[in-house]
Amino acid sequence: MSGDVVVVGSGVIGLTTAVVLAESGRRVRLWTRAAAEETTSAVAGALWWPYRIEPAERVGEWATETLRVYRQLAERPEESGVRLVAGVLADQAVARLGPWSAQVEGLRAAEPGELPPGHREGVRARLPLIDMPAHLGRLRRRLESAGGTVESRDVRSLAETAAAGRVVVNCTGLGAHELVPDAGVQPVRGQLVLVENPGIDEWFVLAKDRSAESTYFFPQPGRLVLGGTAEDGDWRTEPDPATAEAIVARCARFRPEIAKARILGHRVGLRPARAAGVRLEAERLPGGGVVVHNYGHGGAGVTVAWGCAEAAAALVEQS
């Protein structure tokens, strides 16, 4: 059993970490209370971009490693769910971005004609845009191909879980609030609207880091994803009709054809934010087991998944 690792959590962080460990030769069991398609990750938009995540000094490394992997996966978009798509972030400037931006090929200041009326600056880039249901499914198949297993388990104690494997990797996201317990883990509620795509082939984002409202639309296969919200400390999981109406109206200001697009559905996800930033460290338990924590990724789990998975795997090897 000494080569066994139990990964807890089946969102994009848990699945990616499990894949990295299994493909390195570890015997991996992924324990999860909810199927991947029921996690917050499945609801995500999901554009690669460092958003609402700390600590800044480590995020760049994690994000650029993940970008490298997504570029490779984008060579097989039908299989991986990852595509490279062009778009604009309005009210953003290249000079205000972190050092990681130098690793984004083709990122540049947007030209005036590429910006919506009333906006004087922006960034244009071709970034990974991930179809999360397809991507999560591919990650599970990749895990199983490497010999890993996915088991439905309601984990109530990390110490108990450690008894089943020498090392446990805690990728429970918002679940860490109670499981660790870590009171610093709190939800940032995000609500989305899915509509028929009226012919939009580029993404658009207008968001401020700490605003409760944002405006974005992402062209995904078979739908256009409209957003969104970032409501701190809000645990509600049911869509709010008034919020949905406001999201459509905000997006339609930039692309009027969205106002008449047929609504396909509504989604709510609770981003797992943490006051102290991402927790990525090993903890030795009183009984002798080891837990590697990998949670608290806020609104950027997709953006740092592979970088954090590699870092977590390195901690497992050292344990």
Q: Collect all residues with Cβ–Cβ distance below 8 Å to 95 and sequence separation of at least 6.
A: none
**Which CATH number belongs to the domain containing residue 263 in this structure?**
3.40.50.720
d(CA 317, CA 295): 18
- DSSP-derived secondary structure letter, 183: T
Question: The tokens of 136 are what?
Answer: 């999560």
Question: The tokens of 10 are what?
Answer: 């089946």
**pLDDT value of residue 1:** 35
d(CA 291, CA 307): 19
C-alpha closest to that of 81 among 124, 18, 37:
37
Helix-helix angle 132-145:12-23, to 10 degrees: 30
Is residue 300 within 8 Å of 41, Cβ to Cβ? Answer: no
Rg (C-alpha) for the chain, rounded Å, is 19
Give strand pairing partners of 271. 188
Residue 204 vs residues 20, 226, 298: alpha-carbon distances, Å: 32, 10, 21
Q: Collect all residues with Cβ–Cβ distance below 8 Å to 180 and sequence separation of at least 6.
A: 158, 170, 293
d(CA 222, CA 80): 16
Q: Can you tell me whether residue 316 is helix, strand or coil?
A: helix
Tens place of pLDDT per residue across the chain (319 aa): 346 999 999 999 999 999 999 999 999 999 999 888 888 898 888 999 998 899 988 999 999 999 999 999 999 999 999 999 999 999 999 999 999 999 999 999 999 999 999 999 999 999 999 999 999 999 999 999 999 999 999 999 998 888 777 799 999 999 999 999 999 999 999 999 999 999 999 999 998 777 899 999 999 999 999 999 999 999 999 999 999 999 999 999 999 999 999 999 999 999 999 999 999 999 998 877 899 999 999 999 999 999 999 999 999 999 8
**Strand 223-229 relative to strand 213-220, pairing:** antiparallel
Domain residue limits at 65: 4-318
Q: Based on the structure, what is the number of domains in the chain?
A: 1
**pLDDT value of residue 51:** 86
d(CA 70, CA 66): 6
**pLDDT value of residue 3:** 65
Residue 307 vs residues 62, 304, 310: alpha-carbon distances, Å: 4, 5, 5
Stated pTM of the model? 0.95
**pLDDT value of residue 286:** 81
